[in-house]
Chain A
Amino acid sequence: MASIALENLAHSYLPNPGGDNDFALKQVNHVWEDGRAYALLGPSGCGKTTLLNIISGLLTPTSGRILFGDKDVTASSTAERNIAQVFQFPVVYDTMTVGQNLAFPLRNRGMEADYVTERVQRIAQMIGLEADLQKKARGLTSDLKQKISLGRGMVRDDVNAILFDEPLTVIDPHLKWELRTQLKSLHQEFGHTMIYVTHDQTEALTFAEKVVVMHEGRVVQIGTPKELFETPAHVFVGYFIGSPGMNFIPVSVTGNKAHINGNTIHLHHDYGNPQGNILLGIRPEFVRLSKSDGLPVQINRIQDVGRHKFINATLFDTEINISADEGFEIESDMVKITFDPANMGIFCNDWRLNGKAIDHGNGGTV
């Protein structure tokens, strides 16, 4: 096993790519550390699968290099890279039994029969298919088939990384949770590097230690689920992570003050005097309804979803969402909102600004 490094990697499906828009995957530099669990998160068509297929060697990148450890594998075949990949739709060899399916990659590599049998037994045990080894693979349900694909990847003990391309898409909802938990425990037990592509934030956040968020062919942020939630680096991350997503309010900023319609919001950091499209970002969880303090809003609707209440309101022409705990009593004269100062972010032309920390004796309230 080794770390996987991407150096200036870019890919276009066109023969002679010109501008930035021709690239399905724009330049990426990233190191996947050995033994970590990553999620590659982004909407459909953002280049996740392209990136995954480049790592596994199914696609050759237009430019850039891929290194496994110190070895350049950009031109190596899939088999040489020792990568396992689980696809969106379960791929099993229909005419073979479960056992033969699991043994297939080993047989193709000319391993000895004793070793193959032993490995297949072990893997079957790990993924809970020991009882089904003699069954034909084609009659199985899709979650079992997906387990077989996973097992075929793990059966090689020298596998460098296991890649998952939206593997739970065709699985029944009640089994998704179970399979994901199983994956996670397999990862903890055996320490394979895992890269998990998904467009489902819950999947990404529960599975991975680090989440790589992609948007329009670009990696916009790499971070832990907590970082993505608290300090999104890009407006897209704010929108995409969280349900509902982050609120963005157009403001103008000078120093540690944000101005909106003649009102001033005190910020935790000093942002200087940024120019461009300035937005204040705040998650619905950090907005409070109140009777007297803060900015005036007009409440549009309230949804009670059980554990939370979601309030949709309008603040100076901007629609914002507020999340309140179930126990929170909403009264008819609550027409003001306050923001939790520690959790506000300022974004300039879609990217988060890193302000200077300042001493704020009495700041922080609106």
Chain B
Amino acid sequence: MEKTVNQRAWLLVLPVLVLVAFSSIIPMMTVVNYSFQDSFGENIFFWVGLEWYQELLRSERLWDALGRQLLFSFIILMIEIPLGILVALSMPKKGISASICLVLMSLPLLIPYNVVGTIWQVFGRADIGLLGRILSDLGISYNYSQNAFDAWVTVIIMDVWHWTSLVALLAYAGLRSIPKPYYQAAMIDQASRWSVFRYIELPKMRGVLMIAILLRFMDSFMIYTEPFVLTGGGPGNATTFLSIDLVKMALGQFDLGPAAAFSLMYFLVILLISYVFYTVMITIDKDEAKQ
């Protein structure tokens, strides 16, 4: 078949090109530009090559923040994924109660990060917060603004409260797609509840769980608002995760060069981990299909 050349097609993609250029490419290239230069204000820049990158890689501050960040993501994945599956398994399967459940489950997802932070910040205050007050009246010492452990617990609870329902909804969708004969066959084979979960439900949920893990990892790796609202990264540097550190560097200290180098490395790390994760996922899938 003969193809007609029609240059007007460019007009159709032009809006997207412009949009992407202004929203992503140009800002990103500006950051790249900053990361190789030093500035002492007045819009005068000096070329410094890879100096910022080298300095950051040597600085403990970045490695500490990265360590905290990885630990945080690990903990919330370890809590949210099993908890989400558990919630999905115990949700009603059909009828009006299922719909009510779904609506209630989606509510936390609609609440802005900032509000979630504020809710828990107030809730946990020892002087006026319901939770904080009850805990202190019970004689349990709990103070997120002074105790690093309490601050971590609070941020983790916030995140779990905010996002477990996402995992639960995804897992629920996976569970609902399992045809009934699987359960009937399991009954006939006298499979235990655990076997049903292990050999039917878990394998069938694998796809959605992979997506849930990927989403929750990327999102938790970029956490900013909740610890910022709660303690601004404190007490000390206890909840200073990568984003918080980055913002401190870029806006607090106005170190544009190092901050730019920081954000690029940050971006690359997320990209890298997600890529590795995705590749592993796809490879397992292909291998199993081949066998």
Contact = CB atoms under 8 A, between A and B. Distances in A.
Contact of A135 (B185, B189, B289, B291): B291
A108 B191 contact: yes
A139 interface: yes
B203 A95 contact: yes
Contact of A87 (B184, B199, B200, B203): B184
A91 B291 contact: no
Interface in B138-193: 179, 181-182, 184-185, 187-192
Contacts of B204: 94
Given A95-B199, A138-B289, A105 B189 contact: yes
Interface in A148-207: 149, 152-153
Identify the interface centre among B185, B191, B288: most chain A CB within 10 Å of its CB: B185
A95 B285 CA distance: 12
Given A87-B184, A87-B185, A108 B289 contact: no
Nearest to B181: A87
B207 to A, nearest CB: 12
B96 to A, nearest CB: 16
Given A87-B181, A93-B200, A108-B195, A138 B288 contact: yes
Given A87-B181, A138-B289, A108 B203 contact: no
B187 A79 contact: yes
A129 to B, nearest CB: 15
B188 A108 contact: no
Contact of A94 (B179, B184, B190, B203): B203
Identify the interface centre among B181, B289, B290: most chain A CB within 10 Å of its CB: B181
Interface string A55-96: 011100000000000000000011100011101110101111
A115 to B, nearest CB: 16
A108 B290 contact: no
A108 B288 contact: no
Among all A-B residue pairs, the 3 with the closest Cβ atoms: A87-B181, A79-B190, A91-B185
Interface of A: 53, 56-58, 77-79, 83-85, 87-89, 91, 93-96, 104-105, 108-109, 135-136, 138-139, 149, 152-153
Given A95-B199, A136-B291, 15 more contacts: A56-B184, A58-B188, A78-B188, A79-B190, A87-B181, A89-B181, A91-B184, A93-B200, A104-B195, A108-B189, A138-B289, A139-B288, A152-B185, A152-B189, A153-B188
8 contacts: A56-B188, A78-B184, A87-B184, A94-B204, A109-B190, A135-B291, A136-B291, A139-B291
